[in-house]
Structure 1
Amino acid sequence: SSKDEAFSIGPTTSESLERFERDGTVIGPLKKEGKATNGSLMRLAPVPLAFALKPELAIEYGGKSSISTHNSTVAIDACRYMSSLIVGASMGVRKDILLSEFYCPYGDYWNSHRLCPEIEMIARGSFKKKSSSEIRTTMDVTNTLEAALWAFYNTDNFEDGCLLVVNLGDDADTSGAVYGQLAGAYYGRSGIPSHWQSKLFERELIVSYARQLTGLFK
């Protein structure tokens, strides 16, 4: 964090931390239905990057990274699907292929590891058919994922896509973070404006972590 204390903790993460402090429970009960918030999706990238050379594990562990705070089928599947896209982007897959229906860097993985209906709709390309007025950037994980992919689909560089999604408002920082994970993997460090990079807090530390993470597990 750029501050000495935690700030702006989401409701689901706060609830998980309080549960752990209360009784030591790390993983709460699985929520199979209903909406889920976006906290686990916004922190996802290190997992698929670390396992990028093993796409099946990247997807599996990307989903598992959600359960300590967001143990919900929708949140887990959002992380699984985004993990597949981040791995593909890091491999240099073209955007049209990356955003094709049910893209996966590991064969027909989704046939045997189905996504929940909410994320399946996004994987089919729901974001391609919507205008900005139809995109929502609330704390709901499906809205956040769709908004990030919508911005990525409708632009051809990191900066324009980032500005497009954050200027939709609402939970703008999270939407920008989710977009940035995929767009960063796709456009690479050189694609991120240098005047943005120069303002990063602990920039060199972040870069060193990124280098260590990429392909960590071979």
Structure 2
Amino acid sequence: MDESNKKDRFRGCLMGLAAGDALGTTLEFSPPGTFKPIDDMVGGGPFQLKAGQWTDDTSMALCLAESLIESDGFDAADQIRRYCLWMNEGHLSVLGWCFDIGRTTANALKNFENTAEPYSGSTARDTQANGSMMRLAPVAMLYANTPVKIALGYCADSSRTTHAHVVCQDACRYLGALIICALKGMEKDAFLTENPPVEDDDYWKQHPLSEDIQRVAAGSYKQAKDSQEIAGIGYTPKSLEAALWAFYHSTTFEDGALLAVNLGDDADTTGAIYGQLAGAYYGLSGIPKSWREKIAMKDLILDYADKLFEKSAHSA
């Protein structure tokens, strides 16, 4: 794979996250069966956003990307400080203030402000939300060329700042592995497997996934043919399943993104999780131009993607 194709995939990964988020905000909090399915990026939704504006998913992903770039690597304390800057001052928000922050995330950030503990995520059973998966892409991008144990270890650690439950960490490890495979140009059939191919053949045996994530990895999303069998909700295993269902049952970025967000409920996050994987697979060039042109702060998104690409190449 030539350099321009690799770079296109990196750009697609981060832009795809934002595009899925912006597409899905229209239907956020809308239960299935209560809305007319959308077929374009039109904005609106609970926050009355303009077409191309995005929510907390992309704000947090950009905070994470910014931290990885400016810290020259993984620094959990720096990451969570930037999340707090977003929460308190609207850093990297399209509206200039924080909106749509999840309860689990907000509690973790407040905990950090009180304790200075960077890994402030709760391990409580009721905190298995998708707020760490939605922002994952920058970590997978930066460490795409490093040994799998390091790369996927950082994917898990990136969850622990706000979502420390093992299910959330394992979802990030599994999704991170899929994103890295897509960035490397693998075909869907090669990596949409129970044990995505990594250079360490024993990795998945030595670091098995928790039961609920393992069930998704084993192909629950492949068996579900109909959207009524899938739930685009905030619970991490269901959220991962929904995004993979949309990716598996489509052949273009656009078609899969519409499948993902038209599930309703947590539509922006289902879109963001789908978008980072599909963007890495189809590349920036595979995202509809009309959508790319609408994305708020698109130049910054591409700049961060390019910087992560350069740093990733140097870490090979």
TM range (shorter): over 0.9
Q: CA deviation at 1:35?
A: 5.9
For 1:29-79, what per-residue CA distance to the aligned partner results, in whole angstroms no more than 9, with x for missing partners?
A: 762756600000000000010011114122111111000100110000000
- Equivalence for 1:127: 221
Q: Which amino acid is 2:112 matched to? A: F
Q: Does 1:90 align with 2:189?
A: no
> How many Å separate the matches in 2 of 1:55 and 1:93?
17
> How many Å separate the matches in 2 of 1:111 and 1:24?
35
- Equivalence for 2:205: 111
Q: Does 1:160 align with 2:252?
A: no
Q: Does 1:51 align with 2:147?
A: no
> How many Å separate the matches in 1 of 2:126 and 2:213?
12
> How many Å separate the matches in 1 of 2:232 and 2:174?
18
Verify the 8 A CA contact 2:246 2:274 in the aligned structure 1.
yes
> How many Å separate the matches in 2 of 1:168 and 1:71?
27
Q: Which amino acid is 2:209 matched to? A: L
Point out where structure 1 has 5 or more consecutive residues left out of the alignment.
Answer: none
> How many Å separate the matches in 2 of 1:105 and 1:188?
21
Q: Does 1:193 align with 2:288?
A: yes
Q: Which runs of 4+ in 1 moved over 6 A?
A: none
Q: Does 1:76 align with 2:169?
A: yes
After TM superposition, the score normalised by the length of structure 1 is 0.95
For 1:108-167, what per-residue CA distance to the aligned partner results, in whole angstroms no more than 9, with x for missing partners?
A: 310111110011111111110012111011110111100000000000000000001100
| Number of residue pairs the alignment of both structures matches | 218
- Equivalence for 1:11: 103
Q: Which amino acid is 1:65 matched to? A: S
User: Higher relative contact order by CA 8 Å / sep ≥ 6: 1 or 2?
Assistant: 2
Point out where structure 2 has 5 or more consecutive residues left out of the alignment.
Answer: 1-92
SS in 2 for 1:58: helix
> How many Å separate the matches in 2 of 1:48 and 1:55?
12
Verify the 8 A CA contact 2:122 2:162 in the aligned structure 1.
no
For 1:147-204, what per-residue CA distance to the aligned partner results, in whole angstroms no more than 9, with x for missing partners?
A: 0000000000000000011001000000000000100000001000000000011111
After TM superposition, the score normalised by the length of structure 2 is 0.66
**1:157 to 1:55, Cα distance in 2 relative to 1, 3 A:** farther
Of 1-10 and 97-106, deviating more is 97-106
Q: CA deviation at 1:208?
A: 1.2
Of 150-159 and 13-22, deviating more is 13-22
Verify the 8 A CA contact 1:63 1:79 in the aligned structure 2.
yes
Q: Does 1:182 align with 2:277?
A: yes
> How many Å separate the matches in 2 of 1:114 and 1:101?
10
